[in-house]
Structure 1
Amino acid sequence: MAKKSFRIDSLSTENFSFFGIVGPLPDYQMAYRLNKGMGMQFCKSPDLSVYLREQVILCSLYFFTDETLHINYFLLRNENQNDILIPRLRSVDYFLIIEAFANHPSPKIFLKRMRSITGILAVLSIPINEKDHINHILEDLECHSLEDPSSQKRKYYDKKNQNNCNHRSSYKRFKNADRNY
């Protein structure tokens, strides 16, 4: 009988945008300032386990879905428990991974507003490279979202309590904030 081999296809990275945020704030404060300054509603998710260099790195993870624009935002801390997720980007404190950022109506204004938030020193666009650990992070993030039962509970909770993690009105708040910007 012929020998069969299976190969895992790499996750398509075309739909993701990857940004580095430099800002020496605790993760809850960074999420709060992004919520306040950008009209987002980041919610704490269980920590993400990233499998790199034969070790597991636990990362603080915040998640936000803009249901109007169909965009998912993930906020990850780079330095966790004395481990650095991507050593090449040692100076970056957080990673903002955006799925379907091409759907955003004004990405330049979005980045400009994010750079103007107090506590954020810089926002860098990071190219997704095969040699980096970024593909591993995206794969672990996808597995985490499939395994995390709280994401389904969160949708139910959002419908019950519109004050907490209300994702639907974020686009209106973003557009209204643009008028004042």
Structure 2
Amino acid sequence: MAVHKLQIDDFVTIDYELFAIHSSLEDYRLAYFINQNLRLLLEKCPKDVSVKAREGEGCFSRYFYEDQETGAIYNLIKNRSSKAVAQQSAAPLFADTLPEMATGIYLLPELKKVDYILKVENTPSFFAPSVLTAVLLDIKHITTAYTIGHDKLKSKNNLIF
């Protein structure tokens, strides 16, 4: 009797582009400037993206836009979420006086220096990542922006939402 194996990799196709954005702006201000320069209408999603990690569960703000003409879907996601963790004290006498520390939880832990991720799904055939990168770099408040290679990501499953 023959054994048939199905490789899951056969069904996984990469139909999205990822862009790393380094900026010190708040997420709503960055979405505003991206909307102005790319002629998009990114809107805040009511539900944040949540990811469970060793450090805890992180919630990441998400801005969404679906282009009706091309079918492209744009997602702007913050890469870092802070979680307050209470410090443990050896002596119970000082338990109430220790401040809480914030730990960082990342959507893509292998890209800890990236502030935001722009995910473009269902890209049309005429979509040019280099043009989008150039427009992002023209925004005054963005320090740098570049494409992210899919082969370098170990935590691709965090991008499923």
TM over 0.5: yes
**Equivalent AA in structure 1 for residue 72 of structure 2:** I
Distance 1:53-1:112 versus aligned 2 partners, 3 A rule: same
**Equivalent AA in structure 2 for residue 64 of structure 1:** Y
1:108-123 paired onto structure 2 within 5 Å = 108-123=130-145
Q: Is the 8 A contact 2:56 2:105 kept in 1?
A: no
Residues paired across the two proteins, number: 132
Distance 2:77 2:69 in 1: 23
Distance 1:83-1:105 versus aligned 2 partners, 3 A rule: closer
Q: Deviations over 1:58-93 (max 9, x none)?
A: 110000111111100111101111322223212110
Distance 1:61 1:50 in 2: 13
Distance 1:128 1:14 in 2: 8
RMSD, aligned α-carbons: 2.3
Aligned to 2:59: 58
Q: CA deviation at 1:125?
A: 1.0
State the TM-score, normalized to the length of structure 2: 0.72
Distance 1:91-1:54 versus aligned 2 partners, 3 A rule: closer
Question: Residue 154 of structure 2: SS of its match in structure 1?
Answer: coil
Q: Does 1:137 align with 2:138?
A: no
Distance 1:12 1:53 in 2: 27
Q: Is the 8 A contact 2:70 2:124 kept in 1?
A: no
Distance 1:32-1:91 versus aligned 2 partners, 3 A rule: same
Relative to its length, the structure with more helix (as a share) is 1
Distance 2:16 2:128 in 1: 16
Q: Which structure has the bigger radius of gyration?
A: 2
Q: Deviations over 1:30-72 (max 9, x none)?
A: 1011011111100000211123448422110000111111100
Distance 1:61-1:131 versus aligned 2 partners, 3 A rule: closer
Q: Deviations over 1:99-158 (max 9, x none)?
A: 02244444432221111011111112111137611x21222x1xxxxxxxxxxxxxxxxx
Q: Does 1:98 align with 2:99?
A: no
1:140-179 paired onto structure 2 within 5 Å = 141=161
1:2-17 paired onto structure 2 within 5 Å = 9=8, 12-17=12-17
Percent identity reads 27
Aligned to 2:98: none
**Equivalent AA in structure 2 for residue 50 of structure 1:** V
Q: Is the 8 A contact 2:133 2:146 kept in 1?
A: no
Q: Which runs of 5+ in 1 are unaligned?
A: 1-6, 142-181
Q: Which runs of 5+ in 2 are unaligned?
A: 1-5, 83-103
Distance 1:107 1:130 in 2: 17
